[in-house]
Amino acid sequence: MSRSVLVAYATRHGATAGIASRVAAALTAAGLPAEARPVEDVKDVEPYEAVVIGGAAYMFHWLRPAVTFARRHRKELAARPVWVFSSGPLGTELVDKDGKNVLEATRPKEFDELTKLLHPRGEQVFFGARPLLLLSGSAQVRQWAQAHGPDRWRPSALTSCSSRSSCSSYV
């Protein structure tokens, strides 16, 4: 087994791939060689010391390829450090109008099952993004997206490790 980390991801429009790439880059910069790969391209997790699995979430569910990947490799994943993340809720507000934490409330339903199967050391829900091409024609929506940019809504806990020791709590 190499001393590298796999950041496997399932994405629909690219936002989750962007998060996975940033996680892999931050881990590598902190001295933990990592590579981000789509779950469909990963046939074997044995070469990796640790695995981070990310998936976009829609309507409280992780994308099926991420779930399938986790289930298919459950035995190998349970034998190494694993973390999971999701991207999904749109916007920037951490608390909704009812006072609920948006990131906690949008946790994918599959995380309960995966926690039992994989025993991840941590999980994180990140705000998602919708490419401008997919947004409605409303000028208000376009202005909001342009004003906030792709990185303004991203929590940086997993993507801003400054040293190997600070990353160790994540991977």
Q: Indicate which CATH number applies to the domain containing 16.
A: 3.40.50.360
What is the separation of C-alpha 141 from the centre of its chain, rounded to a whole number of angstroms? 25
d(CA 149, CA 152) in angstroms, rounded, equals 6
Amino acid at 131: P
Cα-based distances in Å from 104 to 14, 15, 138: 22, 19, 29
Residues 47-65, mean pLDDT to the nearest whole number: 90
Tens of pLDDT, residues 108-163? 788 888 889 899 998 888 777 655 444 444 444 444 455 445 444 344 444 444 44
Quote the pLDDT of residue 104: 73
The H-assigned helical ranges of the chain are 15-29, 64-72, 74-78, 102-105, 110-118, 139-148, 164-167
**Looking at the 3D structure of the chain, how many domains does it have?**
1
Quote the pLDDT of residue 169: 47
The number of C-alpha atoms within 13 Å of 52 and in the hemisphere containing its C-beta is 34
Other Cβ atoms within 10 Å of 44 Cβ, number = 9
Q: Which domain holds residue 98?
A: 5-167
Tens of pLDDT, residues 7-55? 999 998 888 898 899 999 999 999 999 999 999 999 999 999 999 999 9
What is the separation of C-alpha 130 from the centre of its chain, rounded to a whole number of angstroms? 15
